[in-house]
Amino acid sequence: MICFDEKSATFTLTSKGAVYSMGVTDGVLEHRYFGAPIHCDDDLSLFRGEAAASFEARLPGTVSQNQILSEAPAYGRGDFREPMLVFRGEAGETTVDLKYAGHRIVSDHELDGMPSCRGKETLAVTLSDPVRGVSVELFYTVFDDVPAIARSARITNTGEGKLKIVRAYSAALDLPDNGYDLITLYGAWTRERMPERTPVRHGVTSVDAKRVSSSAAQNPFAALVEKNATETAGRAYGMALVYSSSWKISCEGAQNGTVRLLGGINDFAFSKTLAPGETFDTPEAVFAFSSDGIGGLSRAFHDLVREHIAPPAFAKTPRPIVVNNWEATYFDFDYGRLFSIIDAAEGTGIDTFVLDDGWFGARNDDSAGLGDWTVNLNKLPEGLTPIIERCHARGLKFGLWFEPEMVNPNSDLYRAHPDWAISCPGYEPLLSRRQLVLDITRPEVRDHIVSAVNRVLKENAIDYVKWDSNRNVTELFSDAADENDRECFAHEYALGLYDLFRRIIFANPGVFFEGCSGGGARFDLGMLAYFPQIWTSDDTDAGMRCLIQYGTSYAYPPSTGSCHVSVCPNHQNGRTTPFATRCAVAHLGPTGYELDLSKLPPEERAQIREQNERYRRDEDLVLSGDLYRVADPFAGNAFGFLLVAKDKTKAAFTLVKLLNETNSERPVVPLPGLDPAAAYRVEETGAVFHGDTLAAVGLPLEWKKMRDFDAAVCHLTRV
Ligand code: GLA
């Protein structure tokens, strides 16, 4: 709900479980409040602070911009904290003074060419500066089922000369106190999204990506949580970007005790010049709130993704259970090897075979073929048809791997169009994994990709596509761009990417698309608007997956991160874990297998059918349940997830012991979130406990009997 009280010039935005309030003082749009629901007719302007009031008493009619909580901080009129917006006039002027100029309420607001949250009502507040010749429309979307607000900004050059945008973040959130820790998610290939918690210091702390991708190194998410906040208690604020290219989030503990959170397009090596009348849209940023600690904040993001971002046709529908041949064969396959995997999948509950990298062009290793989306006839002389027919004969669907944005210099595409690869004049383009990136800011390059990929999808019965992207962009430059806009390349790449998604993914509504980027290096809310799920990480070791899936769940629901069982010793880190544990951990997301089924020992093969039946019975918990992180593998010797059905009729608890220690303490793992008054039967043991007991003491576990990486899985049903 969006209300405007004209008398006090106050806007009140109400989402379920959160209120966001702002007011206009002397033309300045000030932030008043974001948090738990409150009585909005109470006068929040009384909290503006002594410092602001005393400044204004000395200089009547002047808002002290450094003392207030600001909705759209800009530079030049006394706010010395990090600005959200920075402009340059033609003579190099940097001063900007944005004042309230009006507002409107719109329905079904969407961003042009970029993904955004689906909400019903959006407030658009216009701020303008006639001297600088700029107006900024701030958008705020509310949700009636999630404690979150989605924000973005549209910048218009209202002057007569050129206006250079040198920073255009999506949103700013000023909090009146600094009692917070900052949580961010750092990582690397095979180690994505590791949570890092530090006190908010005085000064600016930032995380970013300069890779033209959201990246594995840092994820476009940050949380400010009360210093003593736990998984279950304390105020927690989160910011996540609906964006998949270079980004930045910064957090500033200011001298007056306030905290400012900012984020959006990375302003590093960025600028965009607007001619008179031209506009520029920022991507969207989402702020979520919970007074139930970090876990509550994560559940807010999970609901937001499932209800307002993920493609509705797939968001909560059962997922394919795949077997993927990558770790089984890598590039080395022929019909025989693939058929043996497909044949072994019959009757196991696996329903989709995915043919990974190596099926196209002259692709026998990573040195050739990317860009040539025609079948590698040396390897597969009769094309894909025999594989697809084999799948169908065994009751399986067929999936295929693509890496549409890339090209190997050793490819027909590159030989025909060497200028289509991104490069900077005068420099030999850097190879990474022996490939280059196509300049998808150019319409003709996109047209080619769309027709090449769509042709394969049209000519073959393909039910599933894995869309990969295995390198970062370097030497940012495009001939196609206007000379003044060369510094907008990273953003133009995102717009090109989203255009590809619309023309390939949305044009093939019957095909299920999974995202991937060297594992989970492009895992963000922008991608999740197109891909119901993303390959979480190339690290398939169950031990590492406990850490990766734990960190990923800070912002992203289990339904969005695919998890596969693979062989041991694990190909990435050499670790051996029990087969049952690999399966338990892979059941905490859309599940599948990444191995040669035909080579599995019979006792493991025999378990697969049962595992998949078990997964299907409670898949709704993965797709739409509430997640409680009940044991933190970064803080202790166990990993624990509890998934609870929204109606609290059932739950699934998974605990993994990490390294065994003799005589170690048995951890107490309370299981919150169930109906305290209801009794629950444990399927595995027959024991019955009430929700309040489970919330206080958890379940009895045979902790001492558990060895390295053993898992305990308990399914609870309300009786
Ligand atoms: C990336 C993906 C893997 C696999 C390979 C193929 O690394 O994350 O799952 O598809 O590419 O080259």
pLDDT in tens, 300-317: 999 999 999 999 999 999
Span from the CA of 516 to the centroid of ligand 1 (angstroms): 8
What is the residue-averaged pLDDT of the chain?
Answer: 96
- Whether residue 441 is found in the same domain as residue 362: yes
- Whether residue 342 is found in the same domain as residue 236: no
**Overall average pLDDT of the 430-444 stretch:** 98
- Whether residue 221 is found in the same domain as residue 356: no
Least confident of 61-65, 323-327, 350-354, 479-483: 61-65
The shares of helix, strand and coil residues in the chain, as percent rounded to the nearest 5, are 25, 30, 45
Span from the CA of 323 to the centroid of ligand 1 (angstroms): 14
Question: Which residue's CA is the closest to the ligand 1 atom numbered 6?
Answer: 357
**Overall average pLDDT of the 222-240 stretch:** 97
Among 581, 608, 623, identify where a domain stops: 623
Q: What percent of the chain has pLDDT over 90?
A: 91
Span from the CA of 205 to the centroid of ligand 1 (angstroms): 33
How far apart CA 86 and CA 554 sit, in angstroms, is: 31
Residue 57: is its pLDDT beyond 90?
no
When pLDDT is cut at 50, 70 and 90, the band that residue 483 belongs to is confident
Span from the CA of 470 to the centroid of ligand 1 (angstroms): 7
36 Cβ contact partners less than 8 Å away, ≥ 6 residues apart: 17, 18, 19, 235, 289, 291
Q: DSSP state, 44?
A: G
- Whether residue 618 is found in the same domain as residue 636: no
Whether residue 303 has its Cβ less than 6 Å from ligand 1: no
567 Cβ contact partners less than 8 Å away, ≥ 6 residues apart: 327, 595, 596, 600
pLDDT at res. 206: 98
When pLDDT is cut at 50, 70 and 90, the band that residue 54 belongs to is low
Range of the domain at 466: 322-623
Whether residue 398 has its Cβ less than 6 Å from ligand 1: no
pLDDT at res. 667: 87
Q: What are the catalytic residues?
A: 468, 538
Whether residue 470 has its Cβ less than 6 Å from ligand 1: yes
**Overall average pLDDT of the 334-344 stretch:** 98
Q: What single letter denotes the amino acid at residue 202?
A: H
Assigned domain for 434 exists: yes
- Whether residue 167 is found in the same domain as residue 274: yes
Assigned domain for 45 exists: no
Question: Which residue's CA is the closest to the ligand 1 atom numbered 7?
Answer: 518
- Whether residue 304 is found in the same domain as residue 329: no
pLDDT at res. 480: 87
Give CA separation, 678 vs 645, 647, 682, 685, 689, in Å.
14, 12, 13, 18, 8
Residue 370: is its pLDDT beyond 70?
yes
Least confident of 191-195, 291-295, 552-556, 598-602: 598-602
Among 623, 645, 662, identify where a domain stops: 623
CATH at 538: 3.20.20.70
Question: Which residue's CA is the closest to the ligand 1 atom numbered 11?
Answer: 518
Please state the atom number of ligand 1 nearest to the C-alpha of residue 594. 9
Which residue out of 357, 408, 434, 545 has the highest number of ligand 1 atoms within 8 Å of its CB and is therefore the one to mutate? 357
Least confident of 25-34, 61-70, 511-520: 61-70
CATH at 671: 2.60.40.1180
The count of C-alpha atoms lying within 13 angstroms of the C-alpha of 433, restricted to the half-sphere facing its C-beta, is 15
Assigned domain for 204 exists: yes
Assigned domain for 8 exists: no
Question: Which residue's CA is the closest to the ligand 1 atom numbered 12?
Answer: 357
Q: DSSP state, 85?
A: E
H or E element, residue 203: strand 203-208
Residue 51: is its pLDDT beyond 70?
no
Whether residue 518 has its Cβ less than 6 Å from ligand 1: yes
H or E element, residue 285: strand 284-290
When pLDDT is cut at 50, 70 and 90, the band that residue 614 belongs to is very high
Span from the CA of 150 to the centroid of ligand 1 (angstroms): 33
Which residue out of 213, 323, 325, 356 has the highest number of ligand 1 atoms within 8 Å of its CB and is therefore the one to mutate? 356
Residue 217: is its pLDDT beyond 70?
yes
Give CA separation, 525 vs 106, 135, 365, 395, 528, in Å.
23, 27, 32, 34, 5
Residue 662: is its pLDDT beyond 90?
no
Residue 512: is its pLDDT beyond 70?
yes
**Overall average pLDDT of the 98-116 stretch:** 96
Whether residue 538 has its Cβ less than 6 Å from ligand 1: yes
Span from the CA of 535 to the centroid of ligand 1 (angstroms): 9
- Which residue, among 701, 611, 615, 630, has the nearest Cα to 670 in the 3D structure? 630
- Whether residue 572 is found in the same domain as residue 671: no
E strand map for 130-202: 134-142, 148-157, 163-175, 180-186, 194-199
- Whether residue 537 is found in the same domain as residue 663: no
Q: How many CB atoms lie within 10 A of CB 601?
A: 8
Assigned domain for 695 exists: yes
Give CA separation, 461 vs 143, 271, 400, 452, 511, in Å.
39, 44, 10, 16, 10
Residue 55: is its pLDDT beyond 70?
no
- Which residue, among 599, 523, 608, has the nearest Cα to 561 in the 3D structure? 523
Span from the CA of 510 to the centroid of ligand 1 (angstroms): 24
539: left (phi over 0), alpha (psi -120 to 50) or beta: beta
- Whether residue 83 is found in the same domain as residue 156: yes
pLDDT at res. 50: 66
Which residue out of 322, 468, 531, 594 has the highest number of ligand 1 atoms within 8 Å of its CB and is therefore the one to mutate? 468
Among 288, 309, 330, identify where a domain stops: 309
E strand map for 553-687: 561-565, 591-593, 626-631, 638-644, 650-657, 679-682
**Overall average pLDDT of the 705-709 stretch:** 95
Span from the CA of 708 to the centroid of ligand 1 (angstroms): 28
- Whether residue 529 is found in the same domain as residue 635: no
- Whether residue 424 is found in the same domain as residue 471: yes
Whether residue 326 has its Cβ less than 6 Å from ligand 1: yes
Whether residue 535 has its Cβ less than 6 Å from ligand 1: yes
**What is the count of structural domains for the chain?**
3
Assigned domain for 616 exists: yes
Least confident of 39-48, 67-76, 593-602, 640-649: 39-48
Whether residue 327 has its Cβ less than 6 Å from ligand 1: no
- Whether residue 305 is found in the same domain as residue 333: no
Assigned domain for 44 exists: no
| Angle separating helix axes 443-459 and 489-504, nearest 10 degrees | 30
Whether residue 594 has its Cβ less than 6 Å from ligand 1: no
Assigned domain for 15 exists: no
